[in-house]
Amino acid sequence: MTLTLQQIQLVRTPEGLPLESDFALHTATLPAPADGQVHVRVLALSLDPYLRSAMAGRHLSAPILPGDVVRGEGLVEVITSRHPRMQAGERWVAACGWRSEALLDGDAVAQARPVAREIDPPTLALGVLGMPGLTAWAGFKLLADAKPGDTLVVSAASGPVGATVGQLARLAGCRVVGIAGGPEKCAWVMNEAKFDACIDHRAGDLRAALKQHCPKGIDIYFDNVGGDVLQAACEQLALGARIVLCGLIAQYGGAAPAGPNPGLFIRARATVRGLVVYDHWARLAEAQAEIGAHLRAGRLAVREDASRGLASAPAAFGRLMRGLNQGKALVVL
Ligand SMILES: NC(=O)c1ccc[n+]([C@@H]2O[C@H](COP(=O)([O-])OP(=O)(O)OC[C@H]3O[C@@H](n4cnc5c(N)ncnc54)[C@H](OP(=O)(O)O)[C@@H]3O)[C@@H](O)[C@H]2O)c1
């Protein structure tokens, strides 16, 4: 028996922002699962900014090269299992790649994470109860050294990492200022995620707005974008500030910018921490328990930006890299 599936390949390395024509959808066949293999159906794909950096060969993980099926995690359902770790009918988050079905084995089985039936909708296991949620939790709880009353600023504030950081900070008694692109995102950050302020970095003077909303300076800056937004936030640091460097989306597709000026760290006697979510997998259950409790109590808002069908993945990924996603970027198959 052979399995027929759809999959998306990278056909060329994107230049700058990714285009749909950088990808191609193909039909492929796979053999039936052998011993140690698991045949899964992909229910939803997680689109994550690091994939662009992997396509440029700059990410900590292996590069994604022309001809490769695009890598990435998804919510999968087991159809047939010939591995003792997984049983038919179970849902897992696994490295399935951009495919409609996949055969998992080796590391993909060992590193897959079960999705509890209580997680509703189960796609939350790709967002606030998965890798982006753990990133936010670890960065805020373990690296930011936050105290009640601190002013925390976070960029990409309406995305799964930024929105979770800001809301955990609000619940810990911080004053929270978001930076997001466009009035619609800023309205969600203010009205649903209940930040104290949100600055639209695509309109007006970012530096003047940071001064206005952080008159005593920024105690914690959680950076998701790099580039000029990082430089501008560092110009407004308070004495003893902590900076959590999480993401550099502004430079995933191009040359690295020069800043920020290290003199700004000296002046503020600042502590700079680099965050890599892979260091914190062992604490996923702790993060899920805390974030899950806030979700169930209605204290934490989430939103998902789901496009439909595997063929929509390249366009949806392009939207994510242009800042046009409204919440956690997903493809529901
Ligand atoms: N360190 C780690 O281990 C780790 C783990 C997970 C994620 N990350 C990083 O965390 C960041 C957020 O991830 P996410 O999944 O929550 O993504 P996300 O916020 O849903 O999407 C990325 C957002 O970045 C903003 N953006 C894109 N290009 C930009 C530019 N040139 N300048 C300023 N902002 C830009 C856009 O938001 P606006 O329109 O609001 O600006 C876009 O919606 C990413 O940089 C990601 O790589 C790091």
279-302 pLDDT, tens digit per residue, is 999 999 999 999 999 999 999 999
User: Best substitution site from 124, 249, 278 to test ligand 1's pocket, by max atoms within 8 Å of Cβ?
Assistant: 249
Are the C-beta atoms of residues 184 and 208 closer than 8 Å to each other? Answer: no
Sign of CA dihedral 136, 140, 144, 146: positive
How far, CA to CA in Å, does 163 sit from each of 170, 235, 291? 10, 23, 12
Regarding the beta carbon of 250 and ligand 1, being less than 6 Å apart is answered yes
Are the C-beta atoms of residues 280 and 138 closer than 8 Å to each other? Answer: yes
Q: Calculate how far, in angstroms, residue 7's C-alpha sits from the geometric centre of ligand 1.
A: 25
For 178-234, write each residue's pLDDT tens digit.
Answer: 999 999 999 999 999 999 999 999 998 999 999 999 999 999 999 999 999 999 999
Single-letter amino acid code for the residue at 159: G
Percent over 90 (pLDDT), the chain: 92
Burial class, 16, CB count within 10 angstroms (exposed 0-12 / middle 13-18 / buried 19+): exposed
**Rounded Cα–Cα distance for residues 294 and 95 (Å):** 28
Number of H helices, E strands in the chain: 10, 15
Helix 227-234 vs helix 206-213: crossing angle, to nearest 10: 40
Assess whether pLDDT exceeds 80 at residue 332.
Answer: yes
Single-letter amino acid code for the residue at 60: L
Are the C-beta atoms of residues 178 and 151 closer than 8 Å to each other? Answer: no
Q: Whose CA is nearest to atom 6 of ligand 1?
A: 132
Phi then psi for residue 214, to 5 deg, are -130, 65
CA 53 to ligand 1: nearest atom = 47
Q: Calculate how far, in angstroms, residue 247's C-alpha sits from the geometric centre of ligand 1.
A: 6
**Rounded Cα–Cα distance for residues 328 and 330 (Å):** 6
Regarding the beta carbon of 213 and ligand 1, being less than 6 Å apart is answered no
Q: Calculate how far, in angstroms, residue 304's C-alpha sits from the geometric centre of ligand 1.
A: 14
For 315-332, what is the mean pLDDT?
97
Regarding the beta carbon of 224 and ligand 1, being less than 6 Å apart is answered yes
Q: What is the pLDDT of residue 93?
A: 98
CA 325 to ligand 1: nearest atom = 43
CA 235 to chain centre: 26
Q: What is the pLDDT of residue 66?
A: 97
Regarding the beta carbon of 130 and ligand 1, being less than 6 Å apart is answered no
Token reading at 191: 């009205």
Q: Whose CA is nearest to atom 18 of ligand 1?
A: 159
